[in-house]
A and B are shown apart, each in its own frame.
Chain A
Amino acid sequence: MTQRMPKLLGMASIASLATLIAALPAFAQDAAAPAAAATPAPTLDAGNTAWMLTSTALVLMMTIPGLALFYGGMVRKKNVLATVMQSFAITCLVTLIWFIIGYSLAFSDGGSSNAFIGGFSKFFHAGITNDTLWAPGVANIPEWVFSMFQMTFAIITPALIAGAFAERMKFSALLIFIGLWSIFVYSPIAHWVWGGGFLGGLGVLDFAGGTVVHINAGVAGLVCALVMGKRKGFGTANMAPHNLVLSVIGASLLWVGWFGFNAGSELAADGLAGAAMMNTQVATAAAGLAWMFAEWIVVKKPSVLGIISGAVAGLVAVTPASGFVNPTGAFVIGIVAGVVCYWGAAHLKKMLGYDDSLDAFGVHGIGGIVGALLTGVFADPAINSLGENHSIVTQLEGVVVTIVWTAVITWVILMITKLLVGLRPSESEEEEGLDISQHGESVAE
């Protein structure tokens, strides 16, 4: 969707050219009826709208229950409720923030500062009616649906960060941190890339949010892991996943939901949406097997956690590429992402010594960067003409700008949160488990 604006312009000019050509004989044959040649007012496209309503529901399913279960299965049993609670509470919190201010900051006109941030004209979704179309003349979907679709992206992005500090953040701190992060990190970056801001203008290719969602969440997760420190007992206590079946169900829901994420990012039910779906499937399968085989070679077992982690890494990496590359490109992107993210989660983390509990950075940060860069390598103009001037250098610019902003502002927000309520529960609360200490509940034996 980085290319949403230029793409819309491109398609709009093709549309007007077609109208002009169609109009020519009319002028020649019947100069007395110029009204017939005027472009009719855009009307709602039922096919596109139906697909976008569906996509929106699919992407919401990625967070609840998809991500909630994927993460919930990977933590120790004493923290499973707190972990699924993070995804669920973030869904509720970000929904309201997006409704009130987030959408306006990301997708309304910011006037003189529009390159960096949107404005307040859509505060509480002001001015939107049932007849307001998003991208009139191109997508022709209701703005209600566009905002809802974007809202599901705004929800999953901070929910992904929670993997980095799983098992050790106070719930009150989580709410404050995520609320501020959604407003001051997510909305501006979404605006830069998709809302008419400066990154979209640079020509950075990001079809469905590799930069806005995955690099953003991954890097924020890394900053959280570094600032918050390791879980109590890290390196000595057994922190093995308590129920990988939950994680398999979660990863599978993420996979299915991701068709809404990637193919939905076309904002239309068309051929490119179909290509994005095929690319998503191929890259995911390739990455799942790549991680599995890499681990099989290194530690002699093809693990369940390995194949599902690889699949998610493939989904992440193909996200920016899904509407620009052909399936062969997606296949290669998947293999690279599977192997590199395995290295990121299993080796880089050890080398650098941070405790990214569930590898939010190792999978989303690294996978996002791999995908963003390889989109610049494999973009195929036959799939999407906007990929014609693809360049790994432009891609790198988008990656670096995102990393710097999210790292700095995430750090500032963590400091504010720490000042207000503190970031971590007491040591004894952490040992007892967040389910009991934060929520007063536990799962039955």
Chain B
Amino acid sequence: MKLVVAIIKPSRLEEVRQALNSLDVHGMTVTEVKGYGRQKGHSEIYRGTEYAVHFLPKLKVEIAVDDAQAEPVTAAIRDSAQTGRIGDGKIFVFDLEHVTRIRTGETGTAAL
């Protein structure tokens, strides 16, 4: 099993959700996060005083999938979150050791 973690632009969340939905992905967790990469923040000016805002708001999307789904899920996120402009985010894929569904106690791929 794999854990796919994507950092995306907040405005792309709905497109990403729809793309994953069509791949039969059953759930995801979304967190509001702040960070920067090559985009390096922006500056704001209030009455002549400039403040550099280094950390920009992004969304972190986490999806647990079986090994076979990892590749198509990654591709779907890449295609749906992409605007082509700097700041589109990144996708990380981790090995996932163990999954338990709390309600039933099922484990492994049955719990995904």
Q: Which residues does chain B contribute within 8 Å of A346, judged by CB atoms? A: 47-49
B44 in contact (CB, < 8 A): yes
A240 B51 Cβ-Cβ under 8 A: yes
Q: Are A299 and B51 in contact (CB under 8 A)?
A: no
Q: Chain B: which residue is nearest A309 at the CB level?
A: B47
CB distance from B76 to the nearest CB of A (A): 33
26 CB < 8 A contacts A-B: A238-B51, A238-B53, A239-B49, A239-B51, A240-B46, A240-B51, A240-B53, A299-B48, A301-B45, A303-B45, A303-B46, A305-B46, A305-B47, A306-B47, A309-B47, A342-B48, A345-B47, A346-B47, A346-B48, A346-B49, A347-B48, A349-B48, A350-B48, A350-B49, A359-B47, A362-B47
Closest to B44 in A: A240
A-B pairs with the 5 shortest C-beta distances? A346-B48, A345-B47, A238-B51, A240-B51, A299-B45
Q: How far is the CA of A240 from the CA of B50 in the complex (A)?
A: 9
Alpha-carbon separation in the docked complex, A439 to B44 (Å): 30
* Complex: A350 Cα to B48 Cα, angstroms: 9
Whether A345 pairs with B51 at a CB distance below 8 angstroms is no
A346-385 interface bits toward B, Cβ cutoff 8 Å, 1 = contact, 0 = none: 1101100000000100100000000000000000000000
Secondary structure of the A side of the interface? helix
Q: How far is the CB of A2 from chain B (nearest CB, A)?
A: 30
Question: Whole-angstrom distance between the alpha carbons of A345 and B46 in the complex?
Answer: 10
Select one of A241, A342, A350 contacting B46, CB under 8 A: A241
With A and B bound together, what is the CA distance between A176 and B104 in angstroms?
A: 65
Question: Which of B44, B49, B52, B53 counts the most chain A CB atoms within 10 A?
Answer: B49
- How far, in Å, is A32 (CB) from chain B's closest CB? 74
| CB of A43, distance to nearest CB on chain B (Å) | 51
Which residue of the partner chain B has the closest CB to A343?
A: B48
Interface residues of B (CB under 8 A from A): 44-49, 51-53
Q: Report the interface size class on chain A.
A: 10 to 19
Report how far A349 CA is from B53 CA in the complex, Å: 22
- Which A residues are in CB contact (< 8 Å) with B45? 299, 301, 303
Nearest CB in chain A: distance from B45 CB, A? 5
Residues of A within 8 A of B49 (CB): 239, 346, 350
Q: Which of chain A's residues have a CB closer than 8 A to the CB of B51?
A: 238-240
**Complexed CA–CA distance, A350 and B46 (Å):** 13
Give the chain B neighbours of A342 by CB distance below 8 A. 47-48
Residues of A within 8 A of B47 (CB): 305-306, 309, 342, 345-346, 359, 362
Closest to A363 in B: B47
User: CA A306 – CA B45 in complex, angstroms?
Assistant: 10
CB distance from B55 to the nearest CB of A (A): 10
Q: A346-B48, A349-B48, A350-B49 provided; 18 other pairs, C-beta below 8 A?
A: A238-B51, A239-B49, A240-B44, A240-B46, A240-B51, A299-B45, A303-B45, A303-B46, A305-B46, A305-B47, A309-B47, A345-B47, A345-B48, A346-B47, A346-B49, A347-B48, A350-B48, A362-B47
Query: Cβ of B52: which chain A residues have Cβ within 8 Å of it?
Result: 238
User: What are the residues of chain B within 8 A of A240 when measuring CB–CB?
Assistant: 44, 46, 51, 53
Cβ–Cβ < 8 Å partners of A306 in chain B: 47
* Residue ID in chain B nearest A362 by CB atoms: B47
Which residues of A273-317 are within 8 A (CB) of B?
Answer: 299, 301, 303, 305-306, 309
Chain A residues in 8 Å Cβ range of B48:
299, 342, 345-347, 349-350
Complex interface: chain B residues within 8 A of A347 (CB): 48
A238 to B54, CA, bound (A): 11
A346 to B47, CA, bound (A): 5
Q: Which of A234-269 contact B (CB under 8 A)?
A: 238-241
CB neighbours of A362 from chain B (8 A): 47
* Distance A443 CA – B53 CA, assembled complex (angstroms): 23
Q: How far is the CA of A206 from the CA of B52 in the complex (A)?
A: 43
